[in-house]
Amino acid sequence: MSPFTIVAQREFLSRVRKRTFLLMTLLGPLFFGALIVGPALLNEYTESPGQRLLVVDHSFLLVGTDHVGKAQLDYLNPDEFSEDQAVEALKNRDEFDGLLYLPPSENSDPDFILRNTRLYNKNDVSLEIVGDLENNLANAATEEKLKMHGVDPSVVTQAQTQVSIRTMDLTEDGAEESAVGLKMAIGFGAGFFIYIFTFLYAAQIMRGVIEEKTSRIIEVIVSSVKPTQLMLGKILGIAAVGLLQFLIWVALTGVILFVVSATGLLSPDAAELAANPGMASSPIPSEITGTFKALNLPLLVSSFLVYFLGGYLLYGALFAAVGAAVDSETDTQQFMLPLTMPLVLTFVLATSIIDNPNGPLAFWLSVIPFSSPIAMMIRLPFGVPPGQIALSMGLLVLGFLFTTWLAGRIYRIGILSYGKKVTYADLWKWIRMKP
């Protein structure tokens, strides 16, 4: 077995046997599952309770309205109660949570009523109920304005039309449903995973190099292994750890989502279906199904693996060089900003890439090796010409080879250099130094 293989095997086995690896491997899917299931559970168990409100309506905008959202309305006779008297009545009635006061109109102006409507809280009326009241009053005021101008509100209601344009992707076999939202989610999610894993595992390489250097164990290792072999062994060993952990995460997350889906936790309950019959026949499922048919899933999966490994290997080599050049992790700050800026900037520009996936910004970010792992994965669900994909992957491979060569020249000198704060000038001298 070659020294390079021994180093890679050692890095792989030493990390997968750690409790932290097992813990993170199990907690990761639970975390992502919680992100999906958590909002549904919170919505189910933290719904705003119903509240009772006293109402003094001098404007008669709410006549005949017993409930607004989750609020029950109990009316006081406006001829018997002024605003101050209604407030006193609220104080003496523990069963009510607040008072809604609507003043009389001036010159039949509904806007005057809305501007001067007041809600007195006794038990903190929920924001949801406040919003429902505002919407109800706004609709009532709109109807009054229409009547003032001789327009029947029912005619306006009937004339209102909702538009939902179906987007279609042209294929060789015809046309398929195109769910832009799903494509955005797939692209952004893939880019996010690459962003996180690149930082996570590249940083592990850097810390491992710094630990071995500060403990002087590196001097023993390089007596039997060439520095370049040691660096590549570390990079590929940790790459195998990251790929294994990611595949386990995908498998366990899929199992969790399958179990949750089977329990019906994320499905609308009978009450929701009764209140919103359209949910049962929503076009979204068919749209999503059609999108998955239109997407080239083998291309997406294979490309993700290429960019996942390519991005990690490119940055892993540079992080290893930084780890070899410094004596402690605190000294890495001066070198980290130039290394991380391309990834951070690409992630920041993700929205711009999604808005125009075939524009010049998206194109250049997807072919430059330092940004292509994220940018290209964001673009791929929207369709990218094969030539651009080949160009991007080819440049990524060349970028990895270049950064590995560059990092190797820094690594061979840096791991045996101690006691001096390294500058960029020192790094340039090490790169130019002949083997």
221: pLDDT strictly greater than 80: no
Q: What is the mean pLDDT of the chain?
A: 79
Q: 214 pLDDT exceeds 70?
A: yes
Q: Would you say residue 108 has pLDDT above 50? A: yes
| pLDDT at residue number 280 | 44
Angle between helices 297-325 and 372-379 (to 10 degrees): 170
pLDDT tens digits, 65-104: 888 888 888 888 888 888 888 888 888 888 888 888 988 8
pLDDT tens, 352-408? 888 888 889 999 999 999 999 999 999 888 888 889 999 999 999 999 889 888 888
Q: What is the pLDDT, as a whole number, of residue 369? A: 92
**Residue 368 pLDDT:** 92
Average pLDDT over residues 228-256: 81
Query: How crowded is the C-beta side of 333, counted as CA atoms within 13 Å?
Result: 2
The DSSP code for 332 is: G
Whether residue 234 contacts residue 208, with contact meaning beta carbons closer than 8 Å, is answered with yes
Instruction: Please measure the distance between the N-terminal and C-terminal CA atoms of the chain and give it in whole angstroms.
Output: 25
Residue 154 has pLDDT above 60, yes or no: yes
Rounded Cα–Cα distance for residues 191 and 202 (Å): 16
Q: Is the pLDDT of residue 298 over 60?
A: yes
In the chain, % of residues over pLDDT 90:
6
Give tens-digit pLDDT for 32-76.
667 666 666 666 555 556 788 888 888 888 877 888 888 888 888
The pTM is what?
0.65
Q: What is the pLDDT of residue 417?
A: 77
Q: Write out pLDDT tens, residues 167-201.
A: 666 656 655 556 677 778 888 888 888 888 888 88
Per-residue model confidence (pLDDT) at position 165: 66
Average pLDDT over residues 246-263: 76
The domain locations on the chain are 3-33+178-432, 51-155
CB 62 within 8 A of CB 102: yes
Q: Does pLDDT of 283 surpass 80?
A: no
Mean pLDDT of 144-152: 80
The pairing of beta strand 98-102 with beta strand 118-121? antiparallel
Q: Which residues pair with 51 in a beta bridge?
A: 71
Question: Residues 192-211: what's their mean pLDDT?
Answer: 84
- 272 vs 412: which has the higher pLDDT: 412
Q: How far is CA 77 from the centre of its chain?
A: 52
Mean predicted confidence (pLDDT) in 131-154: 83
Q: Where are the alpha helices (DSSP H) in 117-179?
A: 127-148, 153-159
What's the CATH number for 51-155? Answer: 3.40.190.10
pLDDT at 341 over 80: yes
Helices (H), 215-326: 217-221, 227-263, 270-275, 284-294, 297-325
